[in-house]
Amino acid sequence: MGFHHVSVLLNETTDAMHPVDGGTYVDCTLGGGGHTERLLSMADCTVIGLDRDPDAIAAASERLARFGDRFRPVRTTFAELPAALASLGLAQVDGILADFGVSSHQLDIDERGFSFRREGPIDMRMDGDAELSAATLVNEASEEELGRIVRDYGEERRWRRVARTLVDGRPWSNTLELAAAIEKAVGGKHERIHKATRSFQGLRIAVNDELGQVERLLPAAVQAVRPGGRLAFIAFHSLEDRLVKRFFYAEAGRTGPKDAYGNPTAPVRLQDLRLIRPTDDDPNPRARSARLRTAMRCP
């Protein structure tokens, strides 16, 4: 099956990069190649596309073949940005973007096991070669660990009930059965979102170390972008967005120690911070919760 994904905030994200002829940019979450394709079309530049999912690398490479060596795919996690650049003989680039959301392809392919609405194995690995899967967590992790995952990463208020249900219902092998059990454990009145949404989110984040990846990418990206270069990061839930916001604010001197005159004592590395939300006419219905934060490294 082809790799289907509609890029969120496509124009807003790529416009924030201000691509120029001869520039080099990094798309840390290549996916279907939508953001990369637009950057390559906007200027005679080079884009390095990172992704841990081999399906994404293959699909984007086919889609972007017409750009020749101006597109350079690398299969890796975005937390490994410095190593990826070093492997290409690069120290710094002109702009770095990342879309931290799960791709439509991953959600819609039953065998990937990301969706609580589609029947499949309980997998949730963005890299199919990774050792840890969601099945391993729900079938082997302790009740305490499962509770922590659902509470901290899924922000589920009824995390104790969910954790107990996961342990009592073992073994688990089917996403729909798991979702139904979680829905029953959460209980309560009808909500706008499915009651398994938060728990599935928590498991997915744990399996892919998503927050750890973001925490490692942020300082690496500031070091890897040239002075005057741009950063653009899209988050889909408060945990990721909070990491980006706090990091940007600290690097811009808005938070942290100040001297007697109110000036930051730490180096100010970022400026021109902006928050962009999707418009009502965004073509991707999954974009409603997206938050794009952009910044420029100080010249």
Domains, the chain, in order of start with CATH, read 10-105+210-297 (3.40.50.150), 112-208 (1.10.150.170)
Give the model's pLDDT for residue 1.
45
Give the model's pLDDT for residue 119.
86
| Residues 74, 88 contacting (CB under 8 angstroms) | yes
Q: Poorest-confidence range of 26-40, 66-80, 118-132, 217-231?
A: 118-132
How far apart CA 123 and CA 125 sit, in angstroms, is 6
Q: Where are the beta strands (DSSP E) in 7-104?
A: 24-27, 46-51, 71-75, 93-99
Q: Is 130 exposed, middle or buried (0-12, 13-18, 19+ CB in 10 A)?
A: middle
Say which residues have a Cβ less than 8 Å from residue 187's Cβ, sequence separation at least 6. Answer: 158, 161, 195
Q: Is 98 exposed, middle or buried (0-12, 13-18, 19+ CB in 10 A)?
A: buried
CA dihedral 99, 103, 107, 113 (to 10 degrees): -80
How far apart CA 124 and CA 127 sit, in angstroms, is 9
- Residue 27 pLDDT exceeds 60: yes
First-to-last C-alpha distance (Å) of the chain: 45
**Phi, psi dihedral angles at 296 (to 5 degrees):** -120, 135
Give 55's pLDDT tier (boundaries 50, 70, 90): confident
Q: Poorest-confidence range of 236-245, 270-279, 284-293?
A: 284-293
Q: What would the pLDDT profile of 28-39 be if each residue is shown by its tens digit?
A: 999 989 999 999
Q: What would the pLDDT profile of 127-162 be if each residue is shown by its tens digit?
A: 888 899 999 999 999 999 999 999 999 999 999 999
pTM above 0.95, yes or no: no
Give the model's pLDDT for residue 103.
67
Give the model's pLDDT for residue 283.
65
Written as six digits, the tokens of 126 are: 């963005």
Q: Mean pLDDT for the chain? A: 92
Helix, strand, or coil here: 272? strand
How far apart CA 109 and CA 269 sit, in angstroms, is 41
Give 224's pLDDT tier (boundaries 50, 70, 90): very high
**Phi, psi dihedral angles at 172 (to 5 degrees):** -110, 140
What's the DSSP call for residue 264?
B
Give the model's pLDDT for residue 289.
85
How far apart CA 246 and CA 269 sit, in angstroms, is 14
CA dihedral 202, 208, 211, 216 (to 10 degrees): 170
Give 172's pLDDT tier (boundaries 50, 70, 90): very high
Q: What would the pLDDT profile of 183-208 be if each residue is shown by its tens digit?
A: 999 987 777 788 999 999 999 999 99
Give the model's pLDDT for residue 105.
60
In 3D, which of 113, 116, 167, 173 has the Cα closest to residue 145? 167
Give 180's pLDDT tier (boundaries 50, 70, 90): very high
Give the model's pLDDT for residue 115.
80
- Residue 104 pLDDT exceeds 70: no
Tell me whether the omega of the peptide bond preceding residue 219 falls within 30 degrees of 0, making it cis: no
